[in-house]
Structure 1
């Protein structure tokens, strides 16, 4: 079974704009303690009784809304399993969600609502630009963060723990594959978003055994990339890397093929979506691969996990970051158990002390900076049903 992504667009995972972050942070500090939560009377302490609330910020509105549901149902499945196994010292876990719309300002308000609601852990975070300004809010409230999806390098070393691999780790996998297929001259194309530029920079910085002969940037709001295509073709590359999102990526790939480039194209995780094939067309999508973390259909026992997920989601298929959200809950629950409760310092220490914690996507150990050791990126290709991406190369050999 192939895992399909929805037709919604993923927004920027990267946030290098210091000014934007500063504005969002100032809004967050102003809102802290005065926002109305899902439950009245937020509790700064923990009586040791009742449910342990886990907060999840995710996009439940706007162009990213499908991803909010993917993450919510993945987290809920894990919570159901933990609770069925006795919970955490006899206490059930409870999921509390808030919509951040992948917007920094909305995320700040939503984070304060979760704090007011008395959450004892955060298992959300999809868009990095929206996740970044929530870090000080949760830290000040002593709410440990296990982030399932957002993976900007800006989040590393900020006190949170990341289930998904970083942009640097994704670039490492891309470089490894480029070397493996023997490419020598590479063009790297971004879409001018922070996420895309950051990933492109990382690929160029790590280039080894091949040369990046040209960097190209497109305007994703345009439809005609003929000038960019001509610039790419003039460099005569034997490999192209696209680090942007699938809407513009599908058009770009189609136009590159129409211009005469028939070599391999590698896309970043922002374009790993069945819609890439729909936009590019069946002929243009040939010889295209992508970097992505493992998904349930790629794993031993994945069919059972998908079936269990569909029971929670009323029959809906899992999507990107469903399994990472599931694993964020499992990871935090394990930390609670090892810490003997929800004390912030004890839970953070327990997260740091996790070594080879078994998860479906591989054993988990956090590096000192909170990133996931290894990253877990593999090479996928859009050869599944309706252009869905499936595993091509696990990069083990």
Structure 2
């Protein structure tokens, strides 16, 4: 995908990506000793699970290229204590069974940290695999609330933080009748449930529909009728873009004129392609900032294109870049590649500049600030910043 870029709520990120890169490259020259039983020579392997096949395959390349860019920059600056980083990639196809087998392959390959994870349903079952092998996990994309507290570090905002952004936006619009529709995946249902619970707790909202679709369907007429009959002013679609594009088109064709908000699984230029011209007006999304929304990002985007063969960065490319940087910082601070030591060091990071702003993890290993903003479909079909939710 060429231009599917979207936001991340640290409008306070006045520092440039170039400056952030300089910080990590400088810090990565520290001394890292042995890995607690493994060899202290040769490349330090970082594993990445991402979808390279199936309906979410476009995201795999974005994540791989972002991670590879960080690795190239760190290696060009001398690596981590003179050792190069090396990316080892496996396809999880956004499938729980495939992801476990792929995680086991990475363990066998000798990776010392994991920097992948896109679909929450595929990421969750890999956590015990990596944990049992004392392999730290820094997850760039998957953000279901079910991941929270499982020992992995999340550098994308959580589902709870995303739902909160949706409530803030609905409040700013002044709507009172809201609906949520999910696609029955773990991530989507979790986000919808959280949004509904938040709406009920906030007061002033009437939840008129809690709906679900079969994401493999092409005809959503029954779902469309249920939505229109419920008469919401605001519909939050929390599923992925394939079904989302069809659902929104069919909603508009049936005469629905209210606001549609989509979750980060739909924030992709392919959503507009599927929905079609004229069907994405008054459609917004909850997402986190992408490179084009950050000050001083032109050089980073150009460097990414060098790695990707000319393709522009898409969703989660910058978060995957940051995941590598977090791991490298943890190894530097630990003075080791031992998994337990690196985990402790990552948990203690305070102030490392990421695309989302200065990094500090909560006790649950989530970001202290979720970073979600509101985006909208731009004239080229990509998502652009609409509201940073700062006021």
Report 1:206-225 matches (<5 A). 206-207=198-199, 208=202, 209-225=204-220
Superposition TM-score, scaled by structure 2 size: 0.87
From the superposition, tell whether residues 314 and 225 of structure 1 become closer, same or farther in structure 2 (CA, over 3 Å).
closer
In structure 2, the residue matched to 1:8 is: none
CA contact (8 A) 2:120 2:186 kept: no
Is 1:93 the counterpart of 2:85? The answer is yes
Is 1:228 the counterpart of 2:220? The answer is no
2:357 to 351, 355, 362: 362
Greater shift in the superposed pair: 141-150 or 129-138: 129-138
Three-state SS of the structure 2 residue aligned to 1:356 is: strand
In structure 1, the residue matched to 2:281 is: 286
Greater shift in the superposed pair: 190-199 or 332-341: 190-199
Instruction: Give how far 1:65 is off.
Output: 2.5
CA contact (8 A) 2:319 2:355 kept: no
In structure 2, the residue matched to 1:343 is: 338
Measure the CA separation in 2 of the matches of 1:190 and 1:71: 25
Instruction: Give how far 1:286 is off.
Output: 0.5
1:120 to 103, 109, 112: 112
Measure the CA separation in 2 of the matches of 1:249 and 1:98: 27
In structure 2, the residue matched to 1:4 is: 4
In structure 2, the residue matched to 1:249 is: 244
In structure 2, the residue matched to 1:327 is: 322
In structure 1, the residue matched to 2:300 is: 305
In structure 2, the residue matched to 1:14 is: none
Instruction: Give how far 1:169 is off.
Output: 1.0
Which sections of structure 2, spanning at least 5 residues, go unmatched?
A: 6-34
Superposition TM-score, scaled by structure 1 size: 0.86
Instruction: Give how far 1:92 is off.
Output: 1.4
Measure the CA separation in 1 of the matches of 2:364 and 2:358: 18
Instruction: Give how far 1:313 is off.
Output: 1.3
* CA shift digits 1:202-224 (9 cap, x unpaired): 10001123221222222333333
2:47 to 44, 47, 55: 55
Which sections of structure 1, spanning at least 5 residues, go unmatched?
A: 6-42
Three-state SS of the structure 1 residue aligned to 2:265 is: helix
Measure the CA separation in 1 of the matches of 2:3 and 2:53: 22
1:390 to 366, 384, 387: 384
Instruction: Give how far 1:319 is off.
Output: 1.6
* CA shift digits 1:347-384 (9 cap, x unpaired): 11111111122112322111111112211111110114
CA contact (8 A) 1:162 1:370 kept: yes
2:37 to 39, 45, 54: 45
The alignment yields a C-alpha RMSD, in angstroms, of 1.8
